[in-house]
């Protein structure tokens, strides 16, 4: 099996690809995009396959000769991995790169324990394998599809023993995974060729498949058996779940004497007299393999240090069995560690098919969707895509005049989901909640941090308006759409921009909002708008809005800011109103419009 041969890319083609990016200043703090763990390889077309490197994820910043290498949690690698730093210093480029720093063992396989023990070049050869480029020469490339970003990356990676391109391989996922297993690699990565780069988000467009089960865990203490010569016997491990630190097991294998000594030096500053776990673990508990375990004493630790383990299985209550220590993860923060449960690859494939535009536009076919909720029970629980959703107060009337209930609305959303979902992908949501129906008091909810289930994906964003850090909900699948509907969101309010380019909208919208006007007048205003846009060679699309209004969408392709969009929309609105002064208005206040159609811009 060979790496996929490079496509010939001319300088003109690379320049053309660069111009598809967004002009921006040099970024200084990008959080890496994360992959979702799945249970088996994906064998669908349109995916790129790479080695899953067993090392430290690292973002490389090169600008005007200055170099900075940062871990996932923004820790500097400049001194620790100085050969990589020196190699980047020699690279005459202005770029932001994403990759993995590794050490290859004597078998030619990346070895995380060797990387942990690395102190100088005498300990092994360091390599920085690059698999993505996020910014180059004044252009933000994160809105480009992966295959185009890789084409740009391939054109600039130097011929170097330290900086290398992480190749993608021409094979099926199953073939590549089988080879990775035979070679003793940690696993493989599968990435959609069309995927955009979404910082600080665990996406389903990048997935990882591991050859052995692994889990990151937080160290909450260590034990020392009586009459042992070891510096400690086992580490007590836990995970934060629902803001509680829960015990998941002990690991007592995978340590050398030297490693134990180094670990103890790092753990001693974290010693405390208070057990950090929600429930004090029974670390002397006998098992069928050790009916009379040696008596151990425990030293509690503040739960701050992260490690990685391999294990054979995880019990139903979340405990690990037969774990082995792999190393500390000093590149990760305790608060970022989650229990990794592989999701079925079939769920991702089915989700991809459901969201494919051609599927959405075509007829659903003979096999129609059935009703989600029965007409009787007031509270019902349904499993949707592996997630249990509880629906309550189902008889509550949401539309009094039409006698339409919350149950009716949820059944509608269930039936319409395949048609709706493509328009929400990658778009943060502002929730407009009507808990008491269409005539009841409504409220907007933007920040959902800590208020939604863990499986709901969110987008972190710093609001310049109020200076706060918020997490906006993302609708990524049928389950998350129905969860939003269950909150009383009669209408769905996605941003006009995507999370990859949050400050740059996909489109500008001209909103024709009639008051006492006829629909023929609304149509005439739309035609005038189109004529004005056609005259300046600007593409536009018209769609209905509500019962009598029209929206005119002007594609911007995330090339301009919201302020640019606002000013452009204002100019178009003024031109339209000037041609139809008898029955249109651009006045913000309803009273000042005099019953005329309002031309708004969004």
Residues annotated as catalytic (active site), given as ranges: 52
Element (H, E) at 413: helix 406-420
DSSP code string of 20-44: TSEE-PPPS-PPPPEEEEBSS----
Residue 172: CB atoms within 10 A of its CB come to 16
Find out whether 515 and 487 touch, Cβ atoms under 8 Å.
Answer: no
Contacts within 8 Å (CB) and 24+ apart, 313-320: 313/213, 314/213, 314/215, 318/239, 318/246, 318/248, 319/248, 319/249, 320/215, 320/217, 320/237, 320/248, 320/249, 320/251
CA-CA distance, 431 to 39, in Å (whole number)? 33
Residues with Cβ < 8 Å from 117, sequence gap 6 or more?
123, 259
CA-CA distance, 76 to 476, in Å (whole number)? 33
CA-CA distance, 61 to 97, in Å (whole number)? 7
CA-CA distance, 13 to 25, in Å (whole number)? 23
For β-strands 324-328 and 126-136, DSSP reports them as unpaired
DSSP H helical segments within 465-518, as ranges? 478-486
Find out whether 420 and 481 touch, Cβ atoms under 8 Å.
Answer: yes
The DSSP 8-state label assigned to residue 263 in this structure reads H
Residue 600: CB atoms within 10 A of its CB come to 16
Q: Is 348 exposed, middle or buried (0-12, 13-18, 19+ CB in 10 A)?
A: buried
CA-CA distance, 354 to 367, in Å (whole number)? 14
Say how many CA atoms lie within 13 Å of 431 toward its Cβ. Answer: 25
Say how many CA atoms lie within 13 Å of 33 toward its Cβ. Answer: 25
CA-CA distance, 473 to 470, in Å (whole number)? 10
Assign 3-class secondary structure to 343-397: ECHHHHHHHHHHHCHHHHHCCCCCCCCCCCCCCCCCCEEEEECCEEEEECCCCCE
Find out whether 517 and 600 touch, Cβ atoms under 8 Å.
Answer: no
Residue 518: CB atoms within 10 A of its CB come to 12
* Among 495, 474, 245, 481, CA closest to 354: 481
């Amino acid at each position: 099996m060979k790496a996929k041969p490079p496509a010939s890319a001319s300088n003109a083609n690379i320049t053309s690809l660069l111009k598809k990016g967004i002009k921006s200043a040099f970024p200084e703090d990008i959080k890496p995009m994360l992959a979702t763990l799945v249970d088996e390889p994906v064998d669908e077309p349109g995916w790129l396959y790479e080695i899953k490197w067993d090392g430290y994820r690292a973002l490389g910043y090169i600008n005007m000769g200055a170099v900075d290498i940062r871990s996932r949690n923004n820790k500097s690698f400049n001194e620790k991995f100085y050969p990589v730093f020196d190699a980047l210093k020699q690279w005459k480029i202005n770029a932001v790169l994403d990759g993995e720093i590794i050490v290859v063992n004597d078998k030619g396989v990346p070895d995380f324990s060797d990387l942990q023990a690395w102190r100088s070049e005498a300990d092994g050869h360091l390599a920085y394998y690059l698999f993505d480029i996020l910014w180059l020469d004044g252009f933000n490339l994160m809105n480009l599809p992966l295959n185009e970003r890789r084409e740009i990356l391939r054109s600039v990676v130097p011929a170097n023993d330290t900086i290398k391109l992480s190749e993608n391989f021409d094979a099926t996922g199953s073939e590549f995974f089988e080879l990775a297993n035979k070679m003793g690699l940690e696993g493989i990565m599968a990435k959609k060729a069309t995927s955009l780069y979404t910082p600080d988000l665990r996406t389903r467009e990048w997935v990882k498949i591991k050859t052995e089960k692994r889990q990151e865990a937080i160290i909450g203490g260590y034990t020392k058996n009586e009459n042992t010569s070891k510096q400690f016997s086992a580490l007590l491990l836990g995970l934060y779940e629902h803001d509680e630190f829960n015990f998941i097991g002990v690991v007592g294998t995978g340590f050398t004497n030297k490693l134990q000594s180094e670990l103890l030096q790092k753990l001693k500053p974290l010693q405390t007299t208070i057990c950090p776990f929600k429930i004090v673990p029974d670390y002397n508990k006998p098992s069928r393999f050790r009916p009379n375990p040696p008596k151990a004493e425990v030293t509690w630790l503040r739960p701050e240090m992260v490690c990685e383990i391999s294990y054979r299985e995880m019990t139903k209550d979340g405990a690990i069995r037969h774990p082995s220590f792999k190393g500390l993860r000093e590149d990760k923060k305790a608060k970022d560690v989650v229990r990794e449960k592989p999701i079925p690859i079939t769920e991702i494939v089915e989700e991809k098919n459901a969201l494919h535009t051609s599927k959405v536009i075509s007829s659903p076919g003979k096999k129609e969707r059935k009703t989600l909720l029965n007409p009787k029970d007031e509270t019902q629980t349904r499993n949707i895509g592996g997630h249990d959703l509880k629906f309550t107060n189902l008889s509550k009337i949401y539309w009094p005049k039409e006698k339409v209930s919350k149950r009716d609305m949820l059944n509608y959303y269930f039936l319409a989901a395949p048609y709706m979902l493509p328009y929400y992908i990658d778009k943060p949501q502002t929730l407009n909640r009507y808990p008491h129906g269409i005539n009841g008091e409504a409220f907007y909810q933007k920040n959902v941090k800590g208020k939604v289930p863990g499986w709901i994906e969110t987008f972190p964003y710093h609001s310049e308006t109020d200076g706060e850090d918020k997490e906006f909900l993302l609708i990524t699948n049928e389950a998350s759409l129905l969860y939003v509907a269950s909150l009383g969101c009669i209408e769905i309010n996605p941003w006009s921009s995507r999370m990859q380019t949050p400050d740059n909208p996909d489109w500008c919208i001209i909103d024709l909002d009639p008051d006492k006007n006829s629909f023929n007048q609304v149509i005439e205003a739309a035609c005038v708008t189109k004529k004005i846009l056609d005259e300046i060679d600007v593409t536009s699309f018209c769609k209905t809005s509500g019962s009598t209004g029209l929206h005119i969408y002007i594609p911007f392709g995330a090339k301009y800011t919201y302020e640019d969009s606002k000013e452009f929309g204002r100019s178009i609105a003024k031109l339209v109103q000037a041609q139809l002064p008898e029955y249109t208005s651009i006045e913000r206040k309803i009273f000042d419009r005099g019953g005329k159609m309002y031309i708004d811009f969004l």
